[in-house]
C-alpha cells in the first residue's frame, strides 16, 4: 500500500515528516493522511519520491519495486526526436502554452500542428485507462491553484475525460482563457469553478445558460502534475 511504501522510503532515506513537509511544501496534515492511509493519492507524490530518492512510479503504484538502500544508477543518455522509443514508452504532445488552443475546434488544430513531445510510460497510461491519443501535457501559469499547481508546473491532461467528478482538477476554457480549476456539479446543469487559492481567486458559479453564453468548455481531466524545483 502507498502508506507502507511512503513510510519505508522516508525512514530508509533518514528523513522525518518535518523534513518532507519543509522540502516539498506539503502540509503536515496532508503528509500524515498519506502515511496513515486516509488518502491514497496526491499531486505531491512525484516531488516526495524525488526528495526521498525513490522511483515515483514505484511509490505511487508499487510496481517495479527497487531496493531503496542500494539503488543502481545508470549513465544518462542523450535523446532527441530521432531517438527510437523504448518498448514501454509513448510520445504525447507537449505545449509550452496551451492557451491558444481554447475555442471551438482549436484544440484539434493545435494537436495536428504540434511538434514538441514528452515521453511517458505506456504502463502508466494503461493503469489510468487513458487512451494515448487523448494524452497531452502543457505548462501551467499563475498561482490560482497554488499549492496544488504552481507557476511553471507541467500538467498532464486526459482529453477523453470531461465528466465532472466533484473536486477533481480539470483543464478548462472559459471565455477564451485556458486554466486549471476544481469543478463541482450544481443542480440543473450548473457548475462551481473553484481555485485552491480562493483568497485571491473567488469561486465562480455558472448555471446552464451561463455555460453557453460564457463559452465554458471542459478540455479534460488533469491526471498528473509535475513540479521542478529551481535554485
6 domain-assigned = yes
195 domain-assigned = yes
103 and 55 belong to one structural domain: no
Q: Specify the range with the lowest mean pLDDT, choosing from 89-98, 164-173, 176-185.
A: 89-98
> Is residue 62 over pLDDT 80?
no
84 domain-assigned = no
Backbone φ and ψ for 75, nearest 5 degrees, come out as -65, 130
Boundary of a domain, candidates 61, 79, 102: 61
81 domain-assigned = no
Q: Quick one: which of 135, 141, 139, 170 has its CA closest to 154?
A: 139
Mean of pLDDT values over 54-66: 71
Half-sphere exposure of 93 (CA within 13 A, CB side): 21
Per-residue pLDDT reduced to its tens digit, 97-153: 887 777 656 777 788 888 888 888 888 888 889 999 999 999 988 899 988 898 889
**What pLDDT is recorded for position 70?**
40
8 and 101 belong to one structural domain: no
CATH number at residue 17: 1.10.260.40
Q: Which of 79-93, 120-134, 170-184 has the highest mean pLDDT?
A: 170-184
31 and 112 belong to one structural domain: no
Rounded (5°) CA angle 217-120-130: 45
Retrieve residue 154's grid coordinates: 507541467
**What pLDDT is recorded for position 71?**
39
39 and 153 belong to one structural domain: no
The range of the structural domain enclosing residue 139 comes to 89-226
106 and 20 belong to one structural domain: no
129 and 44 belong to one structural domain: no
105 domain-assigned = yes
Retrieve residue 150's grid coordinates: 504552481
109 and 37 belong to one structural domain: no
CATH number at residue 186: 2.10.109.10
When divided into structural domains, the chain yields a total of: 2
- 3-state per-residue secondary structure call for the chain: CHHHHHHHHHHHCCCCHHHHHHHHCCCHHHHHHHHHCCCCCCCCHHHHHHHHCCCHHHHHHCCCCCCCCCCCCCCCCCCCCCCCCCCCEEEEEEECCCHHHCCCCHHHHHHHHCCCEEEEEHHHHHHCCCCHHHEEEEECCCCCCCCCCCCCCEEEEECCCCCCCCCCEEEEEECCEEEEEEEEEEHHHEEEEECCCCCCCCCEEECHHHHHHCCEEEEEEEEEEECCCCC
Per-residue pLDDT reduced to its tens digit, 185-227: 999 999 999 999 999 999 999 999 999 999 999 999 999 998 7
**What pLDDT is recorded for position 92?**
92
Retrieve residue 71's grid coordinates: 539503488
74 domain-assigned = no
115 and 158 belong to one structural domain: yes
Amino acid at each position: 500500500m502507498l502508506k507502507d511504501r511512503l513510510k519505508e522510503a522516508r525512514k530508509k532515506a533518514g528523513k522525518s515528516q518535518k523534513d518532507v513537509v519543509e522540502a516539498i511544501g506539503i502540509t503536515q496534515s496532508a503528509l500524515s493522511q498519506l502515511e496513515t492511509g486516509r488518502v491514497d493519492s496526491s499531486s505531491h507524490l512525484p516531488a516526495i519520491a524525488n526528495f526521498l530518492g525513490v522511483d515515483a512510479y514505484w511509490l505511487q503504484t508499487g510496481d517495479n519495486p527497487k531496493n531503496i538502500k542500494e539503488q543502481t544508477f545508470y549513465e544518462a543518455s542523450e535523446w532527441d526526436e530521432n531517438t527510437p522509443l523504448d518498448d514501454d514508452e509513448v510520445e504525447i504532445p507537449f505545449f509550452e502554452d496551451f492557451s491558444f488552443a481554447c475555442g471551438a475546434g482549436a484544440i484539434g488544430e493545435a494537436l495536428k500542428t504540434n511538434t514538441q513531445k514528452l515521453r511517458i510510460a505506456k504502463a502508466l497510461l494503461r493503469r489510468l485507462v487513458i487512451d494515448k491519443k487523448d494524452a497531452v501535457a502543457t505548462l501551467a501559469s499563475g498561482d490560482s491553484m497554488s499549492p496544488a499547481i504552481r507557476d511553471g508546473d507541467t500538467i498532464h491532461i486526459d482529453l477523453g475525460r470531461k465528466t465532472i467528478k466533484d473536486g477533481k482538477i480539470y483543464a478548462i476554457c472559459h471565455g477564451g482563457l485556458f486554466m486549471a480549476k476544481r469543478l463541482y456539479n450544481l443542480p440543473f446543469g450548473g457548475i462551481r469553478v473553484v481555485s485552491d487559492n480562493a483568497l485571491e481567486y473567488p469561486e465562480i458559479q455558472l448555471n446552464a445558460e451561463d455555460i453557453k453564453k460564457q463559452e465554458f468548455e471542459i478540455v479534460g481531466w488533469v491526471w498528473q502534475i509535475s513540479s521542478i524545483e529551481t535554485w
